Amino acid sequence: MKSRSLTHRLIAGVLLAEFLCAALFSAVAITHEMHGRRRAFDVMLRGRADSLMGAVQDAEDPEDNVMVDPTELSLPSEDAYAVATPAGHVLGSSPKSSPELLAALESPHKEGYFNFAIGDKQYRAIRTPGMRVIDREEKTGALRIPVTVLYAAPTAHLWHEAVEAVSFYMATGALLLALTALALVWLLRRWLAPLHELAERASHVSVQAWEFVPPEAALHTRELEPMASSIQKLLAGLQQSFERQRQFTGDAAHELKTSIAVLKSSLQLLSLRQRTAEEYESGIEGVLVDTQRMEELTERMLALARLEEAPSKSQESVDLSSVVQAVAERLRPVAELRQVLLGTAVQDSSRVALSLDDAEILCSNLILNALQHSAGGSHVMASVENQTGIVALMVEDHGEGILAEALPHVFDRFYRADASRSRNSGGAGLGLAMCKAIAERCGGSIEIVSIPGTGTRVRVILPASTTNKDIFSDA
């Protein structure tokens, strides 16, 4: 589909609107002028009819007749007139008018103004009754003679006169339209410059170049600022997502490469020389342990990838207090083995919008992490507290704590503050990253406060659930 210029469309639209306004103004001006000239024309017709009435004179005959004296008249040759008695006797008419014109004029019409046409020529006429009073010396009193005056004049010149009268305004409007068109082109290009600059900046964004800095002019334009900011945030989020995915792929490849190298080394050691059955059995057991660790790592990476997808739209909910108690019971043997006292403090009906699997991953990762970093004889407490609209999960230990320089990175994938402990503890540095993904996926948050040598407190804030669909069971 052929692309269209927004600037050209705006200019064309505004020019069309101006042209329509100018045309409407001209039409109104001509109509108004025609109305005024018609009224003046009607006044002229009545004045000439009155003049014609004054030309009715005494015929000075015994029958007391009257006649129209042409010497008393000075009328345009193209006009037509007739003076008749109520009985229909024509006292006089315009001598230069054609019979068709006089016949149309004398045809029956109501008193007042009327229009008629002879061929292509338009006329406007007036029919007005009058009383001619004639004084005679030899008779007593005045002679009153009723007459009807008909007078018509062509109207073709009215339109030409009206157009000529408003032609100055029409020419001025056309000139102003041309000037405003030039000014409009310049102004629109200037006003739309921030939009063009924004589009140009956006066109440079590609898979290899994610950087997008919106122009200052767009940020200071009320209509463009939301779009420019949204594009900037969207591209920043996409760039961060791609960087996170790239880092995740690199870290996962590194972890798997390490595990595969360990597995390969174990197999190579077994194949270097002949060994006893017990040595082969011991070596195979080590390979199975390494294989199981690789399987767990793969499962955790897949789980983390799932959790970092779009926010969950599931309508499931779970009682977080019940999950905490169930997870604590499952991990109690681990606590006893490490000689750590594990306790819980929960409230009833602490429902959150999580699936059972996500809730168990969240609680088990936090509690197990606290147990693994607590010394023998210390205490780990997992608590759940209901607040207005939220549920707070807190896991606190009195172990070794986390160094201040390591604290900002604890939620990074594959990050381990003490890499030497990872193999012994079985951790791959994904637990806290998964906890953060679970919390943020349902609209919550997670934070860690730690003092080296004193202990660590993890606090998770989750939105309280409004659904009653319970998915937890004690099975």
Please indicate, yes or no, if residue 189 is contained in any of the structural domains.
no
> Does 392 score more than 50 pLDDT?
yes
Whether the Cβ atoms of residue 460 and residue 362 lie closer than 8 Å to each other: yes
User: Which is higher by pLDDT, 473 or 190?
Assistant: 190
Please indicate, yes or no, if residue 202 is contained in any of the structural domains.
no
Asked if residue 114 and residue 90 are part of one domain, the reply reads yes
Distance CA 381, CA 397 (A): 7
Q: Which of 251, 283, 305 marks a domain boundary?
A: 305
Distance CA 52, CA 40 (A): 18
Q: What is the CATH number of the domain that holds 69?
A: 3.30.450
> Does 420 score more than 60 pLDDT?
no
Whether the Cβ atoms of residue 349 and residue 386 lie closer than 8 Å to each other: yes
Average pLDDT value over all residues in the chain: 80
Rounded average pLDDT over 126-142: 70
Asked if residue 364 and residue 301 are part of one domain, the reply reads no
Asked if residue 381 and residue 248 are part of one domain, the reply reads no
pLDDT at position 393, please? Answer: 93
pLDDT at position 63, please? Answer: 53
Asked if residue 109 and residue 17 are part of one domain, the reply reads yes
Please indicate, yes or no, if residue 215 is contained in any of the structural domains.
no
Asked if residue 354 and residue 237 are part of one domain, the reply reads no
What is the value of pTM for the model shown? 0.48
Q: Which amino acid is at 247?
A: Q
Rounded to 5 degrees, φ, ψ at 150 are -120, 130
pLDDT at position 288, please? Answer: 85
Asked if residue 366 and residue 293 are part of one domain, the reply reads no
pLDDT at position 1, please? Answer: 54
Q: Which amino acid is at 306?
A: R
Asked if residue 322 and residue 297 are part of one domain, the reply reads no
> Does 463 score more than 80 pLDDT?
yes
Q: Which range (230-234, 296-300, 410-414, 455-459) has the least confidence? A: 296-300
pLDDT at position 145, please? Answer: 78
* Digit-coded pLDDT (tens) for 191-224: 888 888 888 888 878 777 777 788 888 888 888 8
Rounded average pLDDT over 356-362: 87
Q: Which range (107-111, 309-313, 348-352) has the least confidence? A: 309-313
pLDDT at position 380, please? Answer: 92
Distance CA 455, CA 458 (A): 10
Pairing of the two strands 56-58 and 112-118: unpaired
Under the banding of pLDDT at 50, 70 and 90, the label for residue 417 is low
Asked if residue 363 and residue 264 are part of one domain, the reply reads no
> Does 121 score more than 60 pLDDT?
yes
* Digit-coded pLDDT (tens) for 235-272: 887 777 777 777 767 766 766 776 787 778 878 877 87
Both tokens of 100, joined, read 């068709």
* Digit-coded pLDDT (tens) for 56-95: 776 665 555 667 777 677 788 888 888 888 777 788 888 8
* Digit-coded pLDDT (tens) for 296-326: 767 767 776 666 665 555 667 889 999 999 9
pLDDT at position 376, please? Answer: 87
Asked if residue 443 and residue 382 are part of one domain, the reply reads yes
pLDDT at position 473, please? Answer: 41
Total number of domains constituting the chain: 3
Q: Which of 262, 286, 305 marks a domain boundary?
A: 305
pLDDT at position 58, please? Answer: 64
pLDDT at position 152, please? Answer: 92
Q: Which of 253, 283, 305 marks a domain boundary?
A: 305
Write out 136-172 in H/E/C secondary structure: CCCCCCEEEEEEEEEEEEECHHHHHHHHHHHHHHHHH
Please indicate, yes or no, if residue 95 is contained in any of the structural domains.
yes
Whether the Cβ atoms of residue 92 and residue 10 lie closer than 8 Å to each other: no
Under the banding of pLDDT at 50, 70 and 90, the label for residue 474 is very low
User: Which is higher by pLDDT, 2 or 420?
Assistant: 2
Please indicate, yes or no, if residue 67 is contained in any of the structural domains.
yes
Straight-line distance from the first to the last Cα atom of the chain, in angstroms, rounded to the nearest whole number: 61
pLDDT at position 209, please? Answer: 76
> Does 133 score more than 80 pLDDT?
no
Please indicate, yes or no, if residue 427 is contained in any of the structural domains.
yes
Asked if residue 68 and residue 156 are part of one domain, the reply reads yes
Q: What is the distance of C-alpha 52 from the center of its chain?
A: 73
> Does 119 score more than 70 pLDDT?
yes
Please indicate, yes or no, if residue 176 is contained in any of the structural domains.
no
> Does 413 score more than 80 pLDDT?
no
Rounded average pLDDT over 166-189: 82
Please indicate, yes or no, if residue 45 is contained in any of the structural domains.
yes
Helix extents (H) in 137-276: 156-191, 193-203, 216-219, 225-271
Asked if residue 93 and residue 151 are part of one domain, the reply reads yes
pLDDT at position 383, please? Answer: 93
Note down the domain range covering 388.
Answer: 314-463
pLDDT at position 471, please? Answer: 47
Asked if residue 332 and residue 284 are part of one domain, the reply reads no
pLDDT at position 137, please? Answer: 57
Under the banding of pLDDT at 50, 70 and 90, the label for residue 108 is confident
Whether the Cβ atoms of residue 371 and residue 449 lie closer than 8 Å to each other: no
Whether the Cβ atoms of residue 156 and residue 121 lie closer than 8 Å to each other: yes
